[in-house]
Chain A
Amino acid sequence: MTPFSYSRAHDAAEAVAFGGQAAARYLGGGTNLVDLMRQTVEKPDRLVDVSALPAEIEARGEGLWIGAAARNTAVAAHEAVRTRYPLLSRAILAGASAQIRNMATVGGNILQRTRCAYFYDHAGSRCNKRDPGQGCDAIDGFNRMHAILGASASCVATHPSDMGVALAALDATVHLRGRRGERTIPFAALHRLPEDHPEIETGLEPGDLITAMELAPLPMARNSLYRKVRDRSSYAFALVSVAAALEVEGGVVRAVRLALGGVAPKPWRASLAEAALIGKPADAHSFRAAAEVELAAAKPLRDNGFKIELARRAIVAALTDLLGEPS
């Protein structure tokens, strides 16, 4: 680990004053950043510990406010999350281990970095995300875990968060504090696709601090779930995951939310599938057709072609499960 200075922020303004400096990083639970620093993939010269900043989780009307320092466990266990947004509870509980969920913050989870082994392998592999312009050893390498949607010729890494997939489906609002004050952005604008610059992963400006996630009221989310397919039944990253919420009336899809994990460089909102489902009969045929539409642009790499059909099936299975649990 390269040397750094450490300070604990007492409020967001203090955090931004320090965090806006070059090569500074915000520190939440540390579950990803400390690991990356140990691998010398991340080399900050200053850590600004923001884990003592607001972590409140509170119902605001029919919506919900989640302070960015809230621990993953606290979010998953919160009564309003469990009952109003079960897909968010389920997504969190499907990720990492209990110890890590106790440490990790909401802000840190959302900004965690890919687990692409080539990104981590500082000594032996080329990576455009880690060292821009160097090349990518994953594209022609062992890429079973890599992206089938939204990737580019410079990067095929996936975003590892489960929580983020649920937040994408929920259209969360991201509250930020930056050097020019407070602002909000939609969750969909938080992460960006790699294109020619995989090292730029978000739409955040230097010094921007995520202070909270806000969830709008969404009664249909009471009928929602998170389905995760992985190599073992616990404590593994997703091959494919689906966050889904469904509202059916008279056998017809009235509203649907769908997002995918494990398949793209960002939590992937399946907007094409959603549009294909509205007004259609809520049955296996419609679900399959919508999944086909979403995956039509999928591009397999050497080892991950199986993800395309797996994603289709996971979508159909998730929506079918939701039919069996009418709200």
Chain B
Amino acid sequence: MPIIINGTDQALPDDPRVSLLDFLREHLHLFGTKKGCDQGACGACTVLVDGERILSCLGLAIQYEGREILTVEGLASDGTLHPLQQAFVEHDGLQCGYCTPGQICSAIGMIGEVKRGVPSQMTAALSGAPVKLSSDELRERMSGNLCRCGAHNGIVQAIIDTYGEQRRVAE
């Protein structure tokens, strides 16, 4: 069974040692997904598997046989940026840009978790009530994605602008 990358079937690598990250970058030449630490500490390699965010450096490609992987290359359609990509541009949610594909894929997965009612450490009650995407909630939920340039304020603003109920949060 193949693995589906951005809607296209791809043959899995013969060697089971190939990480999903190396498969994307070195085999398929999809260089959007970045290798930062390669040990699960930075989030730069975040991709979506069947809509859920994971770290592609800590998974072997072969583990994801038959699954649908979405990388940053799969977000824009017909030359139009995904709304979150556009918001990152407008809010300066980046400086060097290395963490950006991971930030964007992570945020898309994060919004799915919020919609499904997955709590976070910051969620005050575990009652299952809808989660309000406050700045604190958002920062906790995005804490797996580091930005060494310090663009976090712009990143938070871009996500709030795209998905938040209130268009701006206290700065």
A positions within 8 Å CB-CB of B: 1, 3-6, 8, 27, 29-31, 34-35, 38, 47, 49, 51, 73, 76-77, 79, 82-83, 86, 89-90, 93-94, 96-100, 102-103, 233-235
Contacts and interface: CB of A to CB of B under 8 A. Distances in A.
Given A77-B119, A82-B128, A99-B53, A4 B16 contact: yes
Interface stretch (B55-63, B72-80, B88-96, B149-157): B55-63
Binding site secondary structure of chain B = loop
Q: Which 9 A-B pairs rank lowest in CB-CB distance, beginning with the nearest?
A: A97-B144, A234-B143, A6-B16, A82-B126, A77-B118, A93-B121, A1-B17, A235-B143, A31-B58
Tell me which of A83, A93, A94 has the highest count of chain B C-beta atoms within 10 A of its own C-beta.
A93
| Contact-size category for B | 35 or more
Contacts of B10: none
Contacts of A35: 39-40, 58
B43 A99 contact: yes
Interface of B: 15-17, 19, 38-40, 43, 46, 52-55, 58-60, 62-63, 65, 106, 109-110, 113, 116-121, 123, 126-128, 139-141, 143-145
Contact of B58 (A30, A51, A90): A30
Contacts of B38: 38
A5 B16 contact: yes
B119 A31 contact: no
Tell me which of A27, A49, A98 has the highest count of chain B C-beta atoms within 10 A of its own C-beta.
A98
Contacts of A83: 126-128
Contacts of B116: 77
Tell me which of B19, B43, B117, B121 has the highest count of chain A C-beta atoms within 10 A of its own C-beta.
B121
Contacts of B123: 93
B126 A38 contact: no
Contact of A30 (B60, B119, B121, B128): B60
B17 A4 contact: yes
Contacts of A8: 65
Contacts, number: 101
B113 A100 contact: no
B141 A100 contact: no
B44 to A, nearest CB: 11
Contacts of B43: 97, 99
Contacts of A93: 119-121, 123
A96 B145 CA distance: 12
Given A35-B40, A38-B39, A99 B55 contact: yes
B63 A27 contact: yes
Nearest to B118: A77
Contacts of A98: 53, 106, 109-110, 113, 120, 141, 144
21 contacts: A3-B15, A4-B16, A5-B16, A30-B63, A35-B40, A73-B118, A76-B118, A86-B126, A90-B121, A93-B120, A96-B144, A97-B143, A99-B46, A99-B54, A99-B106, A99-B109, A100-B55, A100-B58, A100-B144, A234-B121, A235-B143
Contacts of B109: 98-99, 102
B118 A29 contact: no
B144 A99 contact: yes
Given A38-B38, A98-B141, 15 more contacts: A3-B15, A4-B16, A6-B16, A35-B40, A35-B58, A38-B39, A51-B63, A77-B118, A86-B126, A89-B126, A93-B120, A99-B106, A99-B109, A100-B58, A233-B140
B144 A31 contact: no
Contact of B113 (A27, A30, A73, A233): A73
B54 A103 contact: yes
Given A34-B58, A103-B58, A82 B143 contact: no
